[in-house]
Structure 1
Amino acid sequence: MRSTTTLACTALLSLSATAIATATAAPAPVPAAPKLVVVMAVDGLPQEQLLRYRGQFGDGGFKRLLTQGAMFGDAHQAHGTTVTAVGHSAILTGAYPYQHGIVGNNWIDRATGKSVYCTEDTRYQYIGESTRPDDGTSPARLRVDTLGDQLRYATGNKSRVLAVSGKDRGAILLAGKTGTAYMYMEGSGNFASSTYYMQQHPAWVQRFQASKPQDRYYGKTWRPMLADADYSMDAGDTPFAISYYSESGAPDASYYKRLKEGPFVDELTLDFARAAIEAEGLGANPAGVPDLLGMSLSAHDYVNHAHGPESRMSHDHLQRLDRMLAGFFTYLDKKVGSDNYLVVLTADHGFANSAEFSQQQRIDAGRVDGKKLLNGLQTHLDASFGGGKVALTASWPNLYLEQAALDKAGIKRADVETAASRWLLAQTGIADVYTRTRFEESGATGTRIDLLLRRAWHRSESGDLVVVPRAYWAFGSGSSGATHGTPYAYDTSVPLLMMGKRWIAPGSYAKYTEVVDIAPTLAAVLGVRPPAGAEGRVLVEALQRTAQR
């Protein structure tokens, strides 16, 4: 019989051997990077809608993302100007507007005093399509690089980066500087690129255009796909029927424009993405490197603007989009392999309810007519400083002062800022006014809205005054429809879903998250450096431990 001391020594030796074996054991293998990363933005989808309608989704679309992927329940576009171009810029740059320079869909060029569009570039034209001076043709105004740019750099430009959208800005700002963007042409119904990317389309794009898939919807009518009772939570109880036709009796520019404003443009976008995967070999790169596909599904934004996110049309569109996503994911399973791709789905901004609906809920809501507001302010400043001495230009929420005119008149900018702010704050629907002096000289107050507005202000591109409407108020006129663009939670709160079982740990994550976290997280999975302007964090809580490189 062995002594107690002998047994203790044996136990210690055994533990030591185990510790040594554990310490010297080979670490768990890190899975290869995804063969294909798909980054999807649903234009104008608030998180609230995803949650409100989730019980009606099928198994393969949003529900698959929610159950097989990671859902971030408190995700935000964390800047103060929540519009399409700004939100799309955040997704793959990981940067805020004060760095990436896209401060709106449009803003005022200080050199010319004229409005400019976020992706306009008169040096380039659409391929085979008519091009207006303010059409989006290049990412020249985007001041930082994207995840796709970093991926191409890391692989010696062997990775393929492609983006497609119903809006030019949706495609261009996801494609970055070195990817390729294709966008829907409302004059022809084609998807086309610009001469920034190439001089002529590859053969597969020409074949896709020649097949005219956009014409198959002519004469069709968009009606609710669910039973009437399933829409009981929506505003209004009248079934809708929206037909797609033209006065000419055949597909023409008016038909193609109308097509853009309903679910069929999303179906076309997904069809074009499939064609790109097939022809470009996305996810089957012969160099053995990852590819990136950016997709912006534009119709939900158009539907919400026209009818409001509380409407039956918006509800139905989301259900239709859910079924489209299910079909696309099934296609990826077969074509790329369910273990080989990673999907991220988010939105560029949320949405406020229409002012009329909010008023029915006894909420103080309304519209601020920007033209009337600007005229009233100009009259006030003319009376205060002398007619013609203070020149104002607006691209709401930004107001621009003509500094040369102030200098000539011997007027201090700070005095104009003060006078303008006091007058604006006395107007109905205005909550606050931020001035250039306030941005440049004052520190952050610690409030959420203050932080978001400072992130959204770019020293060169933004206005000398930024006007903040009250909650549930927005710039606009008319008596129907809805909009977005404010720093309030209904505009910043968006879905953020990730799925890819080799890299993403399924589950619901309640921690506060931002859309700018997407780029650094994907960079960590891909093993490349994040974009230069990225300020987001790596979402380590949602990564499989073996995927943390």
Structure 2
Amino acid sequence: MKWLKARAWAALVVAGMVGCAGAATPAASGVPGGIAPPKLVVVVLVDGLPQEQLLKNYDLFVPNGLRRLMDKGAWFSDAHQAHAFTVTAVGHATILSGAYPYQTGIIGNDWKTRDGKFIYNTADTAHKYLDGTPTQDEDGTSPKLLQVSLLGDELRYATNNAGRVFSVAGKDRGAILMAGKTGTAYMYSTKTGRFTSTSYYMDKHPQWWEDYYAKAPQNKWFHQRWNVLLDNPKAYERALPEGQKAAVYNQMTSKMGYLYGIGETSPGASYYRMLMPSPFGDEMTADFALTMMKSEAIGRNPKGATDIMTVSFSSHDYINHNFGPESIQSMDHLLRLDRTLAKFFEAVEAHAGRDNVLTVFSADHGFMNTPEYSSGRGFEAGRIDPTDTRNAVNALAEKKFGIPKIATQHMVGGWTLDYAAIDTKGLNREEVETFMARALLDQPGIGYAFTRSQLERGDLPAHRVALLSQRAWFRQSAVDIMVITKPFHYFQSKTSNPGSVCSHGTPYSYDTNVPLMIHGPKWVRAGRYTQYAETVDIAPTLAQVLNVRVPSASEGKVLTHALVAR
């Protein structure tokens, strides 16, 4: 009896351990860990989607769209893009690298060299677009500036190139920074309304691409209007009504019912430019991605290896910039995207097999509310012209040091300083930096300022804003004074970008807290996980599932508590 009781107790203990780590699945012979990897990993990103928008609109989602991921996947509801300067390129670069910007080298959508030369994050003049579109020097054509490997690169290495990686996005940076060095990327052209690739990836488009665009599918939304999706007006009471004065962007008005292709008798430049910043942009992206998947037999790899397909839906970011995340346009767009995703997920699983697909869903950054909305709620909020701030501090510095325009330029993250002039005067660089940083803190809307000397030594205060700022600072091309606004403020030039009603790019929760869900019952345990997580955790977690090497600069942790026991 004692032996039987002991054995029963041991069984209960083992059962408890399995329950904590996830229910065990039948072992697969000859596979490390005993669970065969998925045939297809689908990574879906929504550009500019804060976590709070999922929570706010959960009850209006359809069962097989976002709710399926939240209800039946592993949902990390406290997940963050854990770096300062939360913008599109930076966020995309973290997802499959597991690395922060200080290692990826992607510190912004663009930046400047010390002598003022403009650098776009995926520009490479050695390569051109393949659809005949003129390629400018600043266009995104390759991952040349990406300093680290991605999960797809490691998959290709581990399988001797049998595993394949394909990426689609409405923005060039959204496609290129997910495909890595060895994948294949397609990005949207605002000139033709088509998704195109570049000479970095191939010499010419495949035949399926030619066949697809021979039918001009990008023109199907010409002269369609964007009206609200739901018939129930009460459903939209959680959003601001149409007609907000702050939400006016270029040709668009803040009224629903916008006509795409207005002023044109046939699809042309205006229609193609405005198509991606619309709910139809998501439908177009999904349709192209599914055509690519079927044509390339993605997930049905003839060599039996795992394939990775990434799709970045770019429209939500444009819409939030144009109208604000609290707007009826943003809410209605998210509901439409949810329906698009439901159809997309269904098509993916029908193609590759429900039990063969692992899906990851996240975002490159969140979004702040419009300053007018935040002010109306009683918060100090506003837009800060970076030129005005820099001129004010430069004037103070000139009085003290006798050097005009010490801060030579503003770029992503802050300012560069005229070290040559400082050295010529025989001044101590660190003393000048410190003066500039302290003077900055007295300017309206400025919350933090960190100097190059501080950042090089890692000598920053022990708080989260400082930590996220350190992670965002890539020494070779970084600023000399890192500048962080106060909450509910952002930098916006009065002349260069007057149309955007709100933005993102700060280390505050509205910009960092993004969705993170993983769905695939064979590999992950369903449930809501409230433990803190970061987007850099995605790559090492997937590496464990795929049995491949963790990407070269990964610092993320494996989300062990959500993995099925092996």
| Pairwise TM-score range, normalised by the shorter structure | over 0.9
Matched, 1:187 2:191: yes
Matched, 1:439 2:441: no
Matches within 5 A, 1:454-473: 454-473=470-489
Matches of 2:210 and 2:504, distance apart in 1: 37
- Aligned match of 1:390: 406
Give the deviation of 1:263 after TM superposition.
1.1
Matches of 1:299 and 1:132, distance apart in 2: 23
TM-score, normalisation: structure 2: 0.90
Q: Which moves more between the two structures, 456-465 or 314-323? A: 456-465
- Aligned match of 2:116: 113
User: What are the superposed Cα offsets for residues 412-470 of structure 1, whole Å, 9 maximum, x if unpaired?
Assistant: 32132122112211111001101101112343433111111111111112100011100
- Aligned match of 1:258: 274
CA spacing shift, 1:246–1:415, aligned 2, 3 Å? same
Give the deviation of 1:16 after TM superposition.
13
Matches of 2:413 and 2:201, distance apart in 1: 32
- Aligned match of 1:83: 87
Structure with max Cα Rg: 1
Paired residue for 1:92, among 90, 93, 96?
A: 96
- Aligned match of 1:526: 546
Give the deviation of 1:198 after TM superposition.
1.3
Matches of 1:79 and 1:104, distance apart in 2: 11
- The AA in structure 1 aligned to 2:297 is G
- Aligned match of 1:243: 259
Give the deviation of 1:14 after TM superposition.
8.9
Structure 2: segments with no counterpart, 5+ residues: 16-24, 29-33, 244-254
- Aligned match of 1:173: 177
Give the deviation of 1:207 after TM superposition.
1.7
SS at match of 2:146: coil
CA spacing shift, 1:318–1:14, aligned 2, 3 Å? closer
Paired residue for 1:231, among 220, 230, 236?
A: 236
Matches of 1:272 and 1:12, distance apart in 2: 61
Native 8 Å contact 2:111 2:120 kept in 1? yes
SS at match of 1:161: strand
User: What are the superposed Cα offsets for residues 18-70 of structure 1, whole Å, 9 maximum, x if unpaired?
Assistant: 99xx9xxx984423111000011100000000110000001110011111111
Matches of 1:186 and 1:17, distance apart in 2: 64
CA spacing shift, 1:284–1:423, aligned 2, 3 Å? same
Matches of 1:155 and 1:387, distance apart in 2: 58
Native 8 Å contact 1:35 1:340 kept in 2? yes
CA spacing shift, 1:14–1:230, aligned 2, 3 Å? closer
Give the deviation of 1:289 after TM superposition.
0.3
- Aligned match of 2:247: none
Native 8 Å contact 2:394 2:404 kept in 1? no
Native 8 Å contact 1:183 1:192 kept in 2? yes
Native 8 Å contact 2:80 2:534 kept in 1? yes
- Aligned match of 1:136: 140
- Aligned match of 1:71: 75
Q: Which moves more between the two structures, 162-171 or 220-229? A: 220-229
User: What are the superposed Cα offsets for residues 298-343 of structure 1, whole Å, 9 maximum, x if unpaired?
Assistant: 0000000010000000000000000000001111121111100010
Matches of 2:545 and 2:423, distance apart in 1: 53
Matches of 1:15 and 1:466, distance apart in 2: 61
Structure 1: segments with no counterpart, 5+ residues: 1-6
- The AA in structure 2 aligned to 1:163 is S
Native 8 Å contact 1:70 1:506 kept in 2? yes
Matches within 5 A, 1:330-341: 330-341=346-357
Give the deviation of 1:389 after TM superposition.
7.0
SS at match of 1:120: coil
Native 8 Å contact 1:429 1:470 kept in 2? yes
Matched, 1:314 2:330: yes
Matched, 1:508 2:528: yes
- The AA in structure 1 aligned to 2:144 is A
Matches of 1:148 and 1:179, distance apart in 2: 7
Q: Which moves more between the two structures, 493-502 or 232-241? A: 232-241
Matches of 2:456 and 2:562, distance apart in 1: 37
SS at match of 1:164: strand
CA spacing shift, 1:12–1:37, aligned 2, 3 Å? closer
Matches of 1:16 and 1:222, distance apart in 2: 63
Native 8 Å contact 2:87 2:109 kept in 1? yes
User: What are the superposed Cα offsets for residues 146-192 of structure 1, whole Å, 9 maximum, x if unpaired?
Assistant: 00000000010111101010000000000001001100000111111
Native 8 Å contact 1:71 1:496 kept in 2? yes
Matches of 1:379 and 1:36, distance apart in 2: 58
Matches of 2:343 and 2:7, distance apart in 1: 55
SS at match of 2:186: strand
- Aligned match of 2:55: 51
SS at match of 1:217: coil
- The AA in structure 2 aligned to 1:300 is H
Matches of 2:197 and 2:9, distance apart in 1: 64
Q: How many aligned positions are there?
A: 533
Native 8 Å contact 1:108 1:400 kept in 2? no
Paired residue for 1:366, among 370, 373, 382?
A: 382
Matches of 1:487 and 1:141, distance apart in 2: 24
Seq. identity, %: 46
SS at match of 1:232: helix
SS at match of 1:508: strand
- Aligned match of 1:3: none
Matches of 1:140 and 1:202, distance apart in 2: 23
Native 8 Å contact 1:145 1:533 kept in 2? yes
Q: Which moves more between the two structures, 93-102 or 124-133? A: 124-133
Give the deviation of 1:379 after TM superposition.
3.0
SS at match of 1:460: helix
User: What are the superposed Cα offsets for residues 120-167 of structure 1, whole Å, 9 maximum, x if unpaired?
Assistant: 111111112111110001111110000000000001011110101000
TM-score, normalisation: structure 1: 0.93
